[in-house]
């Protein structure tokens, strides 16, 4: 069974087993956790368990072998709902002379074969297991709809790698700030009693624009980090900064506004009749449209968010750039320094570059055609799920991938050993300052007073 065979949603199984569990274990799988499944002669056959999880009481206690004192082991029979397999001989092994991690072995190989980078392992301990096994595990490919739903439900941060979580966390309501949810519930209840629900909907009818949300998230980050601006020259990890602002801070702000808008829209549909069943059946089309609109708006916002933060960073760093300029029949996110320079092949032409930004890659990076842009092309992303094959295709197309610093070194992504993948820090320091200094309006770090009389307008920084 290949990963593609598991594209059908398994979410009903996830919810069923999670609801019957006392604790959940979630881990973003590294290449070491899965590569054995793609190697016919591999002897590993299992995933690694971090020391923190091994010592947290989630798994049975390890016991030292008398004949080999450096080996600690514990049997842990397991259930694998996706295939229906029960592995009575699965368990942990820890070689104390090889590091702090333990190794969970004797598991279904097919579930781990052909997975995309940064896929998920989700497990749990059943509350009322009459007999072994009490532990269950599911593998969720990072490119699947289930992965997207999991990440949304748990509001997983960009820096998450593994952890133990409460089953209630899979319910959206459990992730809401208590004050926000309590206030919203009260306002909706009062509006229902007073007949002013549509007036309340009008108050929450519009989510702030992507630009407004971005500014709010940037403000929160600057306050958190005690920074004056998003000047990349003053940051050790500008890529990580953009990822945190976009994937964590702005997304949480957006979700608060989204909850208000969508909750009231749904209540309006369900309150059309005194009978709930009648309201659901007759209002199904409206409900379907609400959820579809929410999904589309969420994806559109994510892309705009990433571009907004890169724009702010280019502006704060004094990098000459033109946004959304028409060039070669395409409209790249950023042309450095501007489209006119690239078209005319003027004196500054050798300094020219294209920078596109995509939150997630999938196949959309192929929209960038190297033949149309006779200059260096860079593609920035915060996606840690790009496959080795896609990376090879990018290199063949002479497109350099730019990623956050933590993703470049991550064990879960496929970027670490790829020379065609650089960090955002490397992009600014090497590709701009060292190779293309003409793109700078002034010396790096002097962005507060940068200007370019007669030249392209500087992108607005924050």
In tens digits, the chain (462 residues) has pLDDT values of 344 444 578 999 999 999 999 999 999 999 999 999 988 765 668 999 999 999 999 999 999 999 999 999 999 999 999 999 999 999 999 998 888 889 999 999 999 999 999 999 999 999 976 667 999 999 999 999 899 889 888 888 888 999 999 988 876 544 555 556 777 888 888 888 888 888 888 888 788 888 999 999 999 999 999 999 999 999 999 999 999 999 889 988 888 888 888 888 888 888 888 888 898 899 889 988 888 888 777 766 666 888 999 999 999 999 999 998 877 677 889 999 988 887 776 554 568 899 999 988 875 666 665 446 678 999 999 999 999 999 999 999 899 999 999 999 999 999 999 999 999 999 999 999 999 999 998 654 444 333 333 333 434 443
161 Cβ neighbours under 8 A, 6+ residues apart: 27, 28, 50, 412
The reply to whether 129 and 143 lie within a common domain is yes
460 domain-assigned: no
Residue 369 is predicted with a pLDDT of 56
Residue 180's pLDDT is what? 62
Count CB neighbours of 276 within 10 A: 10
Instruction: Choose the final residue of a domain: 287, 315, 343.
Output: 315
Q: What would the DSSP string read from start to end of 26-80?
A: EEEPPHHHHGGGG-TT-S--EEEE-HHHHTTTSSPPPEE-SS-TTEEEEE--EEE
Do 146 and 258 sit in the same domain of this protein? no
pLDDT at 170: 76
| Same-domain pairing of 147 and 37 | yes
* C-alpha distance from residue 425 to each of 53, 248, 407 (Å): 33, 20, 12
Number of domains in the chain: 3
- Separation between Cα atoms, residue 338 and residue 151, nearest integer Å: 37
Domain that holds residue 185: 176-315
Q: What is the dihedral of CA 80, 85, 91, 92, to 10 degrees?
A: -40
Residues 123 and 255 in one domain: no
H helix runs in 233-283, sequence order: 238-243, 251-270, 276-282
Q: What is the pLDDT of residue 4?
A: 42
Contact 415, 31 (CB under 8 A): no
The verdict on 162 and 20 lying in the same domain is yes
182 and 168 share one domain:
no
**Is the same domain home to 287 and 235?**
yes
φ/ψ of 146, rounded to 5, equals: -65, -35
Let me know whether 266 and 410 are in one domain: no
pLDDT value for 297: 77
| Res 349: pLDDT | 56
Query: Does residue 456 lie within any of the structural domains?
Result: no
Are both 301 and 332 inside the same structural domain? no
What is the structure's pLDDT at 29? 96
**Quick one: which of 380, 427, 411 has its CA closest to 235?**
427
377 part of a folded domain: yes
Strands, sheet with 353-357, edge to edge from the N-terminal-most edge strand: 322-323, 334-336, 353-357, 376-380, 399-403, 421-423
Q: Which CATH number fits the domain that encloses residue 414?
A: 3.40.91.80
Peptide bond preceding 133 in cis form (omega within 30 of 0): yes
Answer yes or no: do 68 and 162 share one domain: yes
In contact, 215 and 209? CB cutoff 8 Å = no
Are 168 and 191 within one domain? Answer: no
On whether residue 452 sits in a domain, the answer given is no
- Closest C-alpha among 224, 199, 419, 452 to residue 318: 452
CATH number reported for the structural domain that contains residue 96 in this entry: 2.40.330.30
Asked whether residue 451 is assigned to any structural domain, the reply reads: no
CA distance linking residue 25 with residue 380, whole number of Å:
31
Residue 365 has a pLDDT of: 63
Inside any domain, residue 404? yes
3-class DSSP state of 6: helix
Same domain, 139 and 192: no
> Domain boundary residue among 172, 196, 231?
172
Domain ends where: 288, 315, 342?
A: 315
32 CB-side CA count, 13 A: 10
185 located within any domain: yes
Q: Which residues of 440-450 are buried (b: 16+ CB within 10 A; e: fewer)?
A: bbeebeebeeb
Asked if the structure places residue 454 within a domain, the reply is no
Q: Which two tokens stand for residue 252?
A: 């949480």
């Amino acid at each position: 069974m290949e990963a593609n065979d598991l594209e059908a949603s398994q979410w009903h199984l996830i919810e069923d087993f999670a609801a019957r569990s006392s604790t959940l274990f979630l881990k973003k799988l590294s290449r070491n956790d899965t590569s054995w499944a793609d190697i016919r002669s591999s002897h590993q056959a299992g995933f690694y368990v971090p020391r923190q999880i091994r010592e947290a009481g989630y798994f049975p206690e390890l016991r030292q072998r008398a004949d080999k004192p450096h080996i600690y082991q514990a049997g842990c029979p397991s259930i694998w709902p996706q295939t229906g397999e029960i592995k009575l001989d699965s368990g942990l092994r820890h070689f104390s002379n090889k590091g702090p991690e333990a190794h969970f072995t004797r598991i279904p190989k097919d579930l781990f074969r052909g997975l995309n980078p940064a896929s998920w392992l989700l497990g749990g301990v059943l509350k009322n297991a009459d007999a072994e096994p009490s532990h269950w595990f599911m593998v969720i490919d990072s490119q699947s709809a289930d992965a997207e739903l999991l990440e949304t439900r748990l509001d997983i941060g960009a820096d998450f790698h593994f952890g133990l979580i409460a089953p209630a966390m899979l319910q959206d309501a459990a992730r809401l700030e208590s004050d926000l949810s309590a206030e919203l519930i009260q306002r909706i209840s009062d509006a229902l009693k007073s007949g002013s629900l549509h007036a309340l909907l009008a108050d929450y009818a519009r989510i702030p624009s992507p630009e407004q949300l971005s500014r709010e998230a940037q403000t929160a980050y600057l306050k958190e980090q005690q920074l004056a601006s998003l000047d990349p020259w003053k940051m050790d990890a500008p890529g990580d900064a953009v990822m945190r602002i976009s994937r964590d801070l702005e997304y949480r702000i957006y979700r608060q506004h989204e909850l208000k808008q969508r909750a009231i829209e749904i209540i309006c549909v369900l309150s059309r009749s005194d009978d709930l069943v009648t309201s659901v059946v007759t209002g199904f089309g409206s409900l379907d449209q609400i959820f579809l609109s929410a999904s589309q708006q969420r994806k559109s916002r994510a892309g705009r968010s990433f571009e907004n933060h890169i724009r702010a960073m280019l502006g704060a760093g004094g990098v000459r750039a033109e946004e959304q300029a028409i060039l070669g029949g395409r409209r790249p996110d950023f042309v450095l320094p501007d489209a006119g320079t690239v078209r005319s092949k003027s004196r500054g032409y050798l300094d020219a570059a294209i920078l596109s930004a995509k939150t997630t890659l999938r196949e959309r990076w192929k929209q960038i055609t190297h033949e149309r842009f006779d200059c260096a092309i860079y593609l920035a992303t915060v996606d840690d799920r790009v496959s080795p094959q896609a990376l090879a295709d990018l290199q063949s197309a002479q497109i350099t991938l730019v990623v956050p610093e933590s993703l470049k070194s991550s064990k879960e992504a496929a970027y670490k050993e790829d020379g065609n993948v650089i960090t955002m820090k490397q992009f600014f320091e090497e590709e701009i300052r060292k190779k293309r200094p003409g793109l700078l309006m002034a010396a790096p770090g002097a962005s507060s007073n940068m200007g370019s009389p007669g030249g392209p307008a500087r992108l607005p920084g924050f």
